[in-house]
Structure 1
Amino acid sequence: MATASSISAASAALTGLRRTRARAARRRAIALIVLVALTAALFVIDLAYGRKFYALDDVARVVMGQDVPGATFIIGELRLPRVIVGTLCGLAFGMAGVCFQQMLRNTMASPDIIGITSGANLAAVVGIILLKWSGLPLSALAMAGGLITALVTSGLSWKGTIAPSRLILMGIGLSAALNAATSWVLIRGDQWDIQAASRWLTGSLASSDWTDVPQLAAILIVTAVPLMLLVGQIDVLRLGDPMARSLGVRTNAVQTAVIVLAVLLLSSATAASGPIAFVAFLSGPIASWAAGPSKPPLAASGLVGASIVLLSDIVAQHIPPTQLPVGVVTSVIGGPVLIILLIRLSRKQTLI
């Protein structure tokens, strides 16, 4: 009887586990469907809405390559590249942010907070003001700046492995130094270069064009696919390095790969649009809330990031009396959220 009851209890527990996993899978699927629909809706609204509102059938015809008098140039040459770049940047910011947060087991471990964005910013400002670069060379310089900053931060926090708390503290300190260096470079520029660099530092889609799309899309594909394959191992890293190693995860190799891939994602997006504040920071927590506490919500975070950027772009263009850079709107949204999160974390004493 004892054996039979044990088997029955084990069977019931297994059935309960399967049901829990099925519910979690349904929740993830529903969240992804909703986020895809939301991103698509904002994409279309951003294309159609402006000083002149275009009907949805006109938007669809232009997107499919048809010539629509009065709409082809406005939608196809002005709005469409801006919206595509905004979507791709949002995807990149969201996925890069959640990778760091999940790997380092801390919501505060966003690239905005730990200095990686500041490194890309400094490199881009140097390129704009001192080297007079633009286009692809400037993008490559910004990516190199972000990657070097990540490597320096990782090296300073290294204790046989990457120590999350040390990396966050080192990143915050390095970010302050890099921001000071950026300000020093800015004051050395002439009026026009300072305006261009300041507009870029705010985070703007105003200068987006078709030349930004191929390189951004290529980097997104090249980096997102390996990250998707590493999702399971990133999830195990949340258990801590000793436990992850006991489960067969090569922690140092996985952490290095995730850092390099996520920094390339972040830096490529930053090079295209400037540092759109708080998108990388907000996307992960929102996606985790929507998709549930399961594996790192990489796709969901990317979609949340794209939705934030598109919604902020719509607001920035049409709500204020004058058009604003999209980064201003995300800062207005993200600043209070960061304060609330800091208060909650300090109460729980889990900030670091």
Structure 2
Amino acid sequence: MKNESVTFIMAGRRQRNRRWILVTSFLAVLSCILCFAMLLLGNTIYPVKDIIRALSGEQIQGVSFAVNTIRLPRMLAGIFAGFAFGLAGDIFQTMLRNPLANPNVLGITTGSSAAAVFCIVILQSSGTVISFASVIAGLATVILIYILSRGKSFSIGRLILIGIAVQAMLNAVISYLLLVSAEQNIPAALRWLSGSLNGSQMHELPPLIISVFIFAPIVVVLGKHLSILELGEQSATSLGVSTDKTRMMLILSSVCMISLATSTTGPIAFVSFLSGPIAKRLVGVGFSNLFPAGLVGVNLVLAADLIGQFAFVVRYPVGIITGIIGAPYLIYLLIRMNRKGEL
């Protein structure tokens, strides 16, 4: 009887493992297809062989500029920003055990956005200055929300409500900055605030790429502890997890990634909100869905950008398309949580 139980459990684990591998492989292949489409499609569709030659460094009139200067930076910005948004969103949702607890709702991306807008319209800075200011502002926003949400005991509901309030305050700050800024700086700030891959340049991408390569492995390694944190503070501590240290590492890694992603592409709406639930639905239970959530974020950003560029007569920024996709899900989630008494 005992052997049969062990066999049954192991068979279930192998089945879940196969599902995780299949889903992750599918998401990775889909990402590659969308990357190829990003390089191929544009005002002019070039032959595949010319695109490959341009990527290899060969100078081809028209092709090299379009591919290496416009399309490749746009694709890379979508890949790394999407992965950062998806990964960070899933971390917050899992760690705080609430689908509303993502960086968009909590105001973290808004904090980074306020700092970036200040640099754009007041200081008229770009590049490294915006990246540094976004990270500092994101961390400061997290600290502010945590301090304000502390009471006699930690409450996720209180943290979310205070995060929404801080987000509203920071949005007011952004509106004020736009009102007092020079008229010529407003279009650039508004285009950035909508969340866009337009105008992505290769020299602006290294901070984002480096942050993903540094912090994503840390987060994935800590993923096994993340699932234990879902059990609650006492249970996680009894299982030998250093909850404060693990939570701090996860928060710092997530905020650094998402702040740099925001400074590069602007606050692309709902990617961090949607990626985790979609990945969890695809992967199922039993294995970490952090890496699949990152890939879902990549696919959402690249697919939304392609739709915004080519599906309509007018071209829309990627943030507009993800907002159209994410808003109905947010309404559905709020209705479902209200019916369950979770709000």
TM-score range, shorter chain: over 0.9
Which structure 2 residues correspond to residues 129-168 of structure 1 after superposition, within 5 A? Answer: 129-159=121-151, 163-168=155-160
Residue in 2 aligned with 1:184? 176
Superposed displacement of residue 196, structure 1: 1.3
Residue in 2 aligned with 1:27? 19
Mapped to 1, the partners of 2:288 and 2:247 lie a distance apart of 14
1:204-236 alpha-carbon deviations (Å, 9 max, x no partner) = 111201112222110111111111110011110
Residue in 2 aligned with 1:230? 222
Mapped to 2, the partners of 1:87 and 1:23 lie a distance apart of 29
Among 202, 208, 223, the alignment partner of 2:200 is 208
Superposed displacement of residue 166, structure 1: 2.2
Q: Secondary structure at the match of 2:57?
A: coil
Runs of at least 4 residues of structure 1 off by over 3 A? 66-70, 158-163
Which amino acid counterpart does residue 221 of structure 2 have in structure 1?
A: L
Instruction: Give aligned pairs, total.
Output: 343
Mapped to 2, the partners of 1:204 and 1:56 lie a distance apart of 26
Q: Secondary structure at the match of 1:113?
A: helix
TM-score, structure 2 normalization: 0.96
Q: Secondary structure at the match of 1:211?
A: helix
Residue in 2 aligned with 1:72? 64
Among 5, 8, 11, the alignment partner of 1:16 is 8
Among 164, 172, 183, the alignment partner of 1:172 is 164
Mapped to 1, the partners of 2:158 and 2:253 lie a distance apart of 21
Mapped to 2, the partners of 1:125 and 1:205 lie a distance apart of 16
Superposed displacement of residue 142, structure 1: 1.2
Q: 1:250 to 1:161 in 2, by over 3 A?
A: farther
Report the aligned-residue RMSD: 1.5
1:302-336 alpha-carbon deviations (Å, 9 max, x no partner) = 11101111011111111222222111111111111
Among 51, 57, 60, the alignment partner of 1:59 is 51
Is 1:254 aligned with 2:243? no
Residue in 2 aligned with 1:115? 107
Q: Secondary structure at the match of 1:44?
A: helix
Is 1:335 aligned with 2:335? no
Indicate if the aligned counterparts of 2:16 and 2:287 stay in contact, CA closer than 8 A.
no
1:88-147 alpha-carbon deviations (Å, 9 max, x no partner) = 100110001000001001111111101101111111111112222111101111111111
Among 34, 37, 50, the alignment partner of 1:45 is 37
Q: 1:161 to 1:261 in 2, by over 3 A?
A: farther
Mapped to 1, the partners of 2:268 and 2:6 lie a distance apart of 45
Mapped to 2, the partners of 1:163 and 1:244 lie a distance apart of 17
Question: Once the two structures are aligned, what percentage of the paired residues are identical?
Answer: 38
Indicate if the aligned counterparts of 1:35 and 1:303 stay in contact, CA closer than 8 A.
yes
Q: Mind listing any 5+ residue stretches in structure 1 that lack a counterpart?
A: 1-7
- Which of structures 1 and 2 has the bigger CA Rg? 1
Mapped to 2, the partners of 1:163 and 1:342 lie a distance apart of 19
Q: Which moved more, 1:135-144 or 1:48-57?
A: 48-57
TM-score, structure 1 normalization: 0.94
1:161-219 alpha-carbon deviations (Å, 9 max, x no partner) = 75322221211111111111111111111211121111111111112011122221101
